Chains A and B, each alone.
Chain A
């Protein structure tokens, strides 16, 4: 069998790079915004720092993140057969699995 597509591992690496970039940018962006010193923090989770928000996301959003990762790996494996660029494979699989997870989430909310 001739090798036409991109490397699957590189594609997944590029996709993981996208997740790291977006999460890192949101954390850096949010921590650069000054918050009011006298805000009401009595409710639970109302005054999370960006880093605490990431930890909460890792715990509470674990099923969604797992779905995202599975979608990314499956999409990367499929796309790597036809597309030669690992960057394109990783970018498309990250974006595609995000779209799939968003659609599943919307369908789940509509079905409840």
Chain B
């Protein structure tokens, strides 16, 4: 039972974190078709959530595993989660390399939308200031 719990934690870290980071980075580098500003903000926020979850879990899952293994004195699992922390560092380095290659920030980016910009359709002349075309 205890073994299964640690195993699930380790597999969740091993596959879950790369999964979240790949999904987040694909969304981040994609060119989505977003009709409104609100949709673009929501899309960017969801992408940020996925990326931040991936980055946090990358460190949190092995750390939690290490802590639990130390609490129940499971030396074998302690050793495994210590190695996993090395993988955590590698993953952070990989994400940092990707982030360094990008020109815009990886987290906190809002993609372009197709909402038409509000245009001034009426000209109000201001005396002493602005005139209007045609009188």
Enumerate chain A interface residues (CB-CB to B < 8 A): 14, 17-18, 21-22, 24-26, 28-30, 32-37, 85, 87
Contact = CB atoms under 8 A, between A and B. Distances in A.
A32 B27 contact: yes
B107 to A, nearest CB: 16
Given A25-B26, A34-B32, 20 more contacts: A17-B14, A18-B15, A21-B19, A26-B22, A26-B26, A29-B26, A29-B27, A30-B30, A32-B23, A32-B26, A32-B27, A32-B46, A33-B26, A33-B30, A33-B31, A33-B32, A34-B33, A34-B34, A34-B43, A37-B33
Contacts of A21: 15, 18-19
Contacts of B23: 25, 28-29, 32
Main secondary structure of the interface of A (DSSP, over half): helix
Nearest to A50: B26
Given A17-B15, A87-B14, A25 B33 contact: no
Contacts, number: 52
Interface string B6-38: 000011001100111011111100111110000
B27 A33 contact: yes
Given A30-B26, A32-B23, A33-B27, A25 B32 contact: no
B33 A36 contact: yes
Interface of B: 10-11, 14-15, 18-20, 22-27, 30-34, 39, 43, 46, 80, 83
Nearest to A28: B23
A22 B22 contact: yes
Contacts of B46: 32
Contacts of B10: 87
A83 to B, nearest CB: 12
Given A35-B33, A36-B33, A85-B83, A25 B22 contact: yes
A35 B27 CA distance: 12
B22 A29 contact: yes
